[in-house]
Amino acid sequence: MAIEVKIPTILRTYTGGEKSVAANGATLIALIDDLDANFTGLKGRLITEDGSLHRFVNIYVNDEDVRFTGSLDTQLSDGDAVTILPAVAGG
Amino acid sequence: MARYDSLIDALGNTPLVGLPRLSPRWDAEHPVRLWAKLEDRNPTGSIKDRAALKMIEQAERDGLLTPGCTILEPTSGNTGISLAMVAKLKGYGLVCVMPENTSVERRQLLEMFGARIISSPAAGGSNQAVAMAKELAKQYPDWVMLYQYGNPANAQAHYEGTGPELLRDLPAITHFVAGLGTTGTLMGTGRYLRENVPAIQIIAAEPRYGEIVYGLRNIDEGFVPELYDDTVLTSRFSVTSYDALRRTRDLIEHEGIFAGISTGAILHAALSIGDRVAKDETATADIAFVVADGGWKYLSTGAYSGSLQQAAELLEGQLWA
């Protein structure tokens, strides 16, 4: 099952500069574990030591913020698009 | 009655208009309807007039603002324009810290109202403007920073204004959709509606910008406004420039509403929710969304001409909400 994951500029040091990588997982946490297996250290930038999503990291599945769809347990399907972005100011 | 003693008094009480052509089901036994709250009808043409006036009035009550004071604020534009108008009428100075990648119209308006603009670098977007304003506040302790990202009066303006107006005009409201920037609109309106409408859904639409805007050096430089409380929201969508532009044009094409680009992003989220609800043929919904401002300030960005792809490319790297 291939899911496209968009990587923000700030984390591309982990993906060899790649803007977008493919990963697998039936849930978001499984996907992040799979990412970390290929791009060591990435998980540590997304998830804090207590196992929750980093305060300044937003992850979207098909443009919807995962904090409102089950957080790290959000279910994924083939063809979903995952976007990782740092939290920035608006207004 | 629509007569007021001054421009400031004409704030709020904006119209709520239906979208019979863009709604998933308008005239049906089980309607799924969209309603636009025209916040561009405020004195300076944006929803930010509400927060600006409330923050200034609160600072006056708290004794922070006295005649002749200078106000300092980090802003990507609309809040600055609103503050500039109120400051002009009340006799305050205004210094705005604004990212350099904002539209030329916003700068022209601010200058016309007599505000001083300090530009922050494009890279880093509003984060950088906030950081610079905080530094300036230390250097000039007599300036008063209202700080829209953490000032409870910002959300309060919507708790007392936008929320009650919506419920008065649309008692059957089931969803409220607005843009997420300072989060003031969603926090204030959202809290009011949650207290008064069982099962109301509060949906946020945030702009997804070009990469330069996310140019932090590390994740810990990220920013979440102090006002933000995610328990107020039901869902949150990130909307690309392309989708925002597409919906901005749909709004003109089908409903005759000439709105700014952030409104396109809000409409995109509203339609996503509307389409989801409409899959159930027996479901009904009344979805209210915010038209945050009109399109006038964005004409120079090329948002309204040429192909969508071209327009989206022109917006790359710009702050459009």
pTM here?
0.96
Chain A residues whose CB is inside 8 A of the B216 CB are: 10, 86, 88
pLDDT tens digit sequence for B129-169: 999 999 999 999 999 999 999 999 999 999 999 999 999 99
pLDDT tens digit sequence for B62-76: 999 999 999 999 998
Question: Where residue B174 falls among pLDDT bands split at 50, 70, 90?
Answer: very high
In the 3-class helix/strand/coil scheme, how is B79-131 assigned residue by residue?
Answer: HHHHHHHHHHHHCCEEEEEEECCCCHHHHHHHHHCCCEEEEECCCCHHHHHHH
Question: Are B213 and A9 a contacting pair at CB < 8 A?
Answer: no
Question: Are A57 and B219 a contacting pair at CB < 8 A?
Answer: yes
Question: Are B235 and A69 a contacting pair at CB < 8 A?
Answer: yes
What is the ipTM metric for this complex? 0.94
Tokens of B88: 């002009």
Residue B314 Cα, gap to closest chain A Cα (Å): 20
Averaged confidence pLDDT in chain B: 95
* Local structure of B3: helix, strand or coil: coil
In this structure, are residues B129 and B120 in contact, taking their beta carbons and an 8 Å threshold? yes
Q: How many CB atoms lie within 10 A of CB B93?
A: 17
* Distance between CA atoms of residues B263 and B157, nearest Å: 20
The pLDDT value recorded for residue B142 is 95
Chain B residues whose CB is inside 8 A of the A45 CB are: 219
Read off the pLDDT of each residue in B14-28 and give the average, rounded to a whole number: 97
Res B217 pLDDT > 80: no
Closest Cα to residue A84, out of A6, A3, A1?
A6
* Distance between CA atoms of residues A58 and B139, nearest Å: 33
In this structure, are residues B125 and B101 in contact, taking their beta carbons and an 8 Å threshold? yes
Question: Are A10 and B234 a contacting pair at CB < 8 A?
Answer: no
Chain A residues whose CB is inside 8 A of the B215 CB are: 9-10
Residues of B catalogued as catalytic: 48, 262
The pLDDT value recorded for residue A1 is 60
The pLDDT value recorded for residue A55 is 93
* Distance between CA atoms of residues B242 and A13, nearest Å: 27
